[in-house]
Chain A
Amino acid sequence: MNKKTSQKKIQRDFEKLLRELKQKDAFIHYQREHETGPIHLGYLKTAIDTDKLEKYIMPRLQEYMYQNLNELKDHIPFTKTELTDDADQIPDKLVKSFVFIYMANVSPSYLLIPLPLDEKRQVSVPEVEFSVVGPKEAFVEDIDTNLNLVRKRLAIPELNVKKLRVGTITKTDVAVVSIAGIADEDNVKTAVQRIKDVDIDQVVDSSFIQQTIADNKNSPFPQLLDTERPDRIASILVEGKVAIFVNGSPHVLLGPTTLIEFFSAFEDYFLNWLTASSFRLIRLIAVFFSILITPLYVAVLTHHFEIVPQTMLTTLVNSRMQVPFPPIIEALVLEFAIELLREAGARLPTKIGQTIGIVGGIVIGTAAVEAGITSNVLLILVALAALGSFTTPVYKMSNTIRLIRFPLIIVASVYGLIGLAISIAYIMVHLLRLTSLGRPFFAPIFPFRFADFKDALIRLPFSMQNKRPFQVRPSKVKRPVANENDKLRDSR
């Protein structure tokens, strides 16, 4: 009697559940007859891989002999299947790509089978950090694929992967990766602790983590390097740094990093050290040029005509003759126009973006000069400055470089070169105070570490890269790099 009433209650509960679920339009419900009575099977059409369902689940429901769900469970070729009595869990599980099977007359249990839809982008060529030579793989959105891409390059047991969940709603997988015995334990602990302390409802991309665990959140400078190249991650892990993978993001974070590291392209390591060093220096000069040239133009033209040589004055004055604005307005207008072009190009689809670039660059530029709104010289300088900022391999840093130009221009227009010096001092002090995962950001310039210069402003040959950077306080400082043949030759 008692059993019967409870049976009825269970039946009622199930029917209630079905009614609720049927209100969702993606819900599919099958009923199969079995020797013990009806078997119910339900899922959300958009959430599961229907191919797998057809291929592995359906045939088994018909072909095999089983009396209850436990027996059935043994026949299903999937791990992570669950048995539960709790009907309230079901809607939640369905959203998370589960299929439920319910044998109405046998038991009140539900068998839950995960059939997630494996929608993955193929591993493709890096687009942001493209290199002509070297590996051509880039990370994708799936964290396991990404970890696998790195494991492929570092197939060693010391590779330490610590998984965490972040985001009160999204519950995103985050992995902190380092090499045991090389990376400093403190760095790993700092990274893990900071990620644990993150209190945020959603983590859609690694930049969410990058911003929430930054040492100084009010700084325009990114304090963690991000890269889409698995080879770079592998190489930097060997240097003793810590990588942070975030599910759903094709960009992996690296720390502790330094300012200089943002200006080194990974391609530098694929080229001969002389070439690589020259290119890196060119990039650094481009950055300085990019930051300083417009403010310098404004400062000199507004306050310091004395320092311009007479012959250059002719060119400058000639080009400015038609311009009705003071240099500051001229510069701001032009810088604004360039930013506008960049923003428009970034927002539009690639093909239209290119057109915008050409239209903006050539047509508007020429027209602006002809109309006498800006001067030729400034147009050249601003365009070169923009070009210079794009040589920075890390996109976020190149944004910073373009941004910090604006306050410099304004201060330079009021205080001339002195103002420029003061603004640079502000940036300098800011960089001195900045840290990345608690390690000084401005190293190896300050704290001055002469040895670390081997891979900073220039990149010396591998035979001289025999120590890991002191910046990351590696547990193991020495690294073998020299060629045995070199040693033999040297000893002769």
Chain B
Amino acid sequence: MISLDDKVSGLMVLFLISASQLGVGVLGFQSIINKYAGHDAWISVMIAGIAVSGVIWLMYQMLKNDEKGDIVAIHEFTYGKWLGNFLTTLFAIYLLLMAIVVLRTYIEIIQVWIFPHLKVWAFLLLLIPLFYYTISDQFRTVVGVCFLGVVYPAILNLALFFSVQYADIDNILPILDHTITELLQSSSLAVLDFMGFSALLVFYPFIREAGKSQKYAHYGNLYTTLVYTAVCLISYLYYNQSELDSVIWASLGLWKIIEMPFLERFEYFGIATLFFMILPNVVLYMWAATRTVTRTFGFDHKKVALVLLGILFITSAIFTGREGVNLLNDSASRIGLVFLFIYIPVLFVINFICRKVRKNVS
């Protein structure tokens, strides 16, 4: 079983949840979520944050029943061995897909912004050993990366304030100019940027006194929501809505205007710093995928990690260009939406019934 040394304190759930949610999404979500709610979409971000808190609550209700419980145990308990393992495998593939999406999107940004001639597969050769080095050892290392991946890029939030001098309050007035339906429709798009927290279903047994860590999970989600809302709000103050339609990565555009006496064009520095936000995403998903496969089939953790990283390497090298990346992004968001807001509640209900029934039987 998991030894006490491998476990991390409950506070770390805050950083794990935040690190898994903050990723490439933060760079360009502004011009996606305004599809329905227009300049009010920043309210949708908050609504999405609340909805995600609800899903976290559902997850905790399932996980709490067993301190050692994770998605593998829940699936096995609910559906029995065969169906359970099948669904767990799907979940592992979903995690892997998320890692690919994040990594590929980041490389896409590098290609567009800095190195148009980058050989992606050769670049990946530098990254894959780093991922392996992080996930092959204890979970503690992954948590450490997540912790620093939240704390260090937090300084980027300060950079947002440079863009405030170009803010125009007219761009978001009048507030609440859209119907509730429009706001909710935009929220359903905003939710996609919060998706990563499903890794909670895997790392739950690694938390010390896991049952009591729920509040930290909500705090983590709160932090993410605040960051997204702040970024969104400042972007909407900075750009007008028609301008937003034409930009792909609105957040990077915010940085374009920053000029400091020793540093112009903050986005180049920012993209490099973003690596510390991307890394926790990828390693957490990869670790979770590895752990899920290991738990289900009982293979060796390191070997599974190698195989999955191999898949990551090949897929990331194959999908090229804007279309490829878009295809990846779209499919991941659809699957994520179905998984989080349809599958998890359904699983919760079935799991709840199963527990009641078996309790009565015994």
A–B interface present (Cβ within 8 A)? yes
- Minimum CB–CB distance for B237 against chain A, Å: 25
- Give the segment of A28-36, A204-212, A380-388, A426-434 that binds chain B: A426-434
B275→A422 contact, CB < 8 A: yes
- Give the segment of A130-138, A193-201, A305-313 that binds chain B: A305-313
Beta-carbon contacts under 8 Å, A411-425 to B: 411, 415-422, 425
A64 at the interface (CB under 8 A from B): no
A288 at the interface (CB under 8 A from B): no
A303 at the interface (CB under 8 A from B): yes
- CA distance in complex: A96, B273 (Å): 62
A418→B141 contact, CB < 8 A: no
A309→B141 contact, CB < 8 A: no
- Give the segment of B70-78, B94-102, B223-231, B262-270 that binds chain A: B262-270
- Give the segment of B24-32, B42-50, B123-131, B159-167 that binds chain A: B123-131
- In the complex where A418-B271, A447-B8 touch, is A309 in contact with B134 (Cβ < 8 A)? no
A421→B273 contact, CB < 8 A: yes
Residues 54-98 of chain A, each 1 if its beta carbon lies under 8 Å from chain B, else 0 = 000000000000000000000000000000000000000000000
A309→B271 contact, CB < 8 A: no
- In the complex where A309-B261, A417-B272, A447-B8 touch, is A422 in contact with B126 (Cβ < 8 A)? yes
Residue A308 contacts which of B110, B123, B264, B275 (CB distance < 8 angstroms)? B264
A422→B127 contact, CB < 8 A: yes
- In the complex where A307-B269, A309-B261, A425-B275 touch, is A416 in contact with B114 (Cβ < 8 A)? yes
- Minimum CB–CB distance for B99 against chain A, Å: 16
Residue of A420, A426, A447 ringed by the most chain B CB atoms within 10 A: A447
A432→B275 contact, CB < 8 A: no
Residues 124-156 of chain B, each 1 if its beta carbon lies under 8 Å from chain A, else 0 = 001100100110011011011101100000000
Residues 309-331 of chain A, each 1 if its beta carbon lies under 8 Å from chain B, else 0 = 11010000000000000000000
B130→A307 contact, CB < 8 A: no
B9 at the interface (CB under 8 A from A): yes
Report the interface size for chain B: residues with CB under 8 A from the other chain.
Answer: 38
- Minimum CB–CB distance for B264 against chain A, Å: 5
Beta-carbon contacts under 8 Å, A321-367 to B: none
- In the complex where A307-B265, A308-B264 touch, is A433 in contact with B9 (Cβ < 8 A)? no
Residue of A312, A421, A445 ringed by the most chain B CB atoms within 10 A: A421
B114→A433 contact, CB < 8 A: no
A442 at the interface (CB under 8 A from B): yes
- CA distance in complex: A447, B8 (Å): 8
Contacts of B259 in A (CB 8 A): 309
A304 at the interface (CB under 8 A from B): yes
Residue B110 contacts which of A411, A418, A430, A432 (CB distance < 8 angstroms)? A418
Residue B141 contacts which of A307, A415, A429 (CB distance < 8 angstroms)? A429
Contacts of A308 in B (CB 8 A): 264
- In the complex where A306-B268, A307-B269, A417-B268 touch, is A446 in contact with B263 (Cβ < 8 A)? no
B148→A426 contact, CB < 8 A: no
Contacts of B147 in A (CB 8 A): 446, 448
Residue B272 contacts which of A310, A421, A447 (CB distance < 8 angstroms)? A421
B87 at the interface (CB under 8 A from A): no
B269→A446 contact, CB < 8 A: no
A306→B265 contact, CB < 8 A: yes
Residues 268-291 of chain B, each 1 if its beta carbon lies under 8 Å from chain A, else 0 = 110111011001000000000000
- In the complex where A428-B145, A446-B148 touch, is A420 in contact with B272 (Cβ < 8 A)? yes
A425→B144 contact, CB < 8 A: no
- CA distance in complex: A417, B269 (Å): 7
A425→B130 contact, CB < 8 A: yes
- CA distance in complex: A419, B130 (Å): 12
B137→A307 contact, CB < 8 A: no
B11 at the interface (CB under 8 A from A): yes
Main secondary structure of the interface of B (DSSP, over half): helix
Contacts of B265 in A (CB 8 A): 306-307
A447→B275 contact, CB < 8 A: no
- CA distance in complex: A385, B185 (Å): 54
- CA distance in complex: A27, B130 (Å): 63
Contacts of B127 in A (CB 8 A): 422
- Minimum CB–CB distance for B159 against chain A, Å: 13
Residue A429 contacts which of B110, B134, B262, B272 (CB distance < 8 angstroms)? B134
- CA distance in complex: A430, B141 (Å): 9
- CA distance in complex: A433, B133 (Å): 9
Beta-carbon contacts under 8 Å, B97-116 to A: 110, 114-115
- CA distance in complex: A419, B11 (Å): 31
Residue A432 contacts which of B8, B9, B145, B272 (CB distance < 8 angstroms)? B145
A425→B272 contact, CB < 8 A: no
Residue A309 contacts which of B8, B115, B123, B263 (CB distance < 8 angstroms)? B263
- Minimum CB–CB distance for B182 against chain A, Å: 39
Residue B140 contacts which of A417, A432, A445 (CB distance < 8 angstroms)? A432
B137→A312 contact, CB < 8 A: no
A442→B144 contact, CB < 8 A: yes
A309→B272 contact, CB < 8 A: no
- CA distance in complex: A418, B114 (Å): 9
B9→A447 contact, CB < 8 A: yes
Beta-carbon contacts under 8 Å, A452-466 to B: none
- CA distance in complex: A428, B152 (Å): 12
A307→B148 contact, CB < 8 A: no
- In the complex where A303-B114, A309-B262, A429-B145 touch, is A422 in contact with B130 (Cβ < 8 A)? yes
Known: A422-B130, A428-B145, A430-B133. 11 other contacts (CB 8 A): A303-B114, A309-B260, A411-B126, A418-B115, A418-B271, A418-B272, A421-B273, A432-B140, A432-B144, A446-B144, A447-B9
B: which residues have CB within 8 A of A?
Answer: 8-9, 11-12, 110, 114-115, 123, 126-127, 130, 133-134, 137-138, 140-141, 143-145, 147-148, 259-266, 268-269, 271-273, 275-276, 279
Q: Which 7 A-B pairs have the closest CB atoms?
A: A417-B272, A432-B144, A421-B275, A446-B144, A421-B272, A306-B265, A307-B265
Can you report 14 residue pairs joining A to B where beta carbons are below 8 Å apart? A304-B268, A307-B264, A310-B264, A415-B126, A416-B115, A417-B268, A417-B271, A418-B271, A418-B272, A421-B272, A432-B148, A433-B138, A446-B143, A447-B140
